[in-house]
Amino acid sequence: SAGRIPPCFLVGDGAHQWALDHGIPTCSPDVMATKFSVAAFKRNKRKLELAEKVETELIHCKKRRQSFEHDNDSGSLDTVGAVVVDHEGNVAAAVSSGGLAMKHPGRVGQAAVYGCGCWAENMGEHNQYSTAVSTSGCGEHLVRTLLARECSVALQAEDAHHALLETMQKKFISSPFLATEDGVLGGVIVLRCCRCSENSLQDAQTLLVEFLWCHTTESMCVGYMSSQDGKAKTHISRLPPGAVAGQSLAIEGGVCRLGAL
């Protein structure tokens, strides 16, 4: 309006007012808090208050982070991500984050930041492959490294498996932006596809689709399915025995073909 550039990212009161102005129904914040999440908040708040009495601020921050990673039983706060492709090769990615226990007021996690929580881009003049990426893990680690976008760019290389592994190692675990972190926690699901001609039918084309996942966390749950499947196949990916979470990688995946276009 009035020649102004429309915003692409709003938070706080500005986002709330924009929703009202555009007729989006709102609800009381109390409706968004379940009994389970309120109880988890109170437990974590007591831990925080106790820690503040006996620790310096630096030691307190490190131990609080470790406590939340290992002791916080708010299982419903897990991130959910998705990557999809249709029969024409169009890709999309999405991510929804349950947030972080005891997060700082006003914090924005990776799910709402372009190129950090997810990224999708169709093949075109400058892209040989269509790519879709969704991330999970410590939001601050994902935001500082633009992990979703970095993985998407890397997947234009010929060997997707090697490209993803190298990106997670060099652009995430060994990122200079995370040099002070004791462990770098995150995971990605990626989908890459391209058109390929069948040998017997030169004009008929199929989609070659690669689905990969990679993570530095101890485990990551993955599910996948096609439109012909009645339900998703699920798998829990784990780090190799003896590997250290935050410092090691696990990578898996597979390849399939979608029918002639």
The catalytic residues are: 79
Half-sphere exposure in the Cβ direction for 131 (13 Å, CA): 27
Give yes or no for a contact between 166 and 221, defined as CB atoms under 8 angstroms apart: no
- Residues 6 or more apart whose Cβ sits within 8 Å of residue 217: 137, 185, 186, 187, 239, 245, 246
Neighbours of 35 (CB within 10 A): 7
Sheet bearing 118-121, strands edge to edge: 118-121, 130-137, 186-197, 205-215, 250-258
Q: What token pair was written down for 136?
A: 């999970």
Burial status of residue 199 (CB atoms within 10 A of its CB: 0-12, 13-18, 19 or more): exposed
Torsion from C-alpha of 160, 172, 111, 65, nearest 10 degrees: 140
What's the Cα-to-Cα distance from 28 to each of 31, 52, 197, rounded to whole Å?
Answer: 6, 31, 54
- Residues 6 or more apart whose Cβ sits within 8 Å of residue 245: 183, 185, 216, 217, 218, 239
Q: What token pair was written down for 21?
A: 């102005």
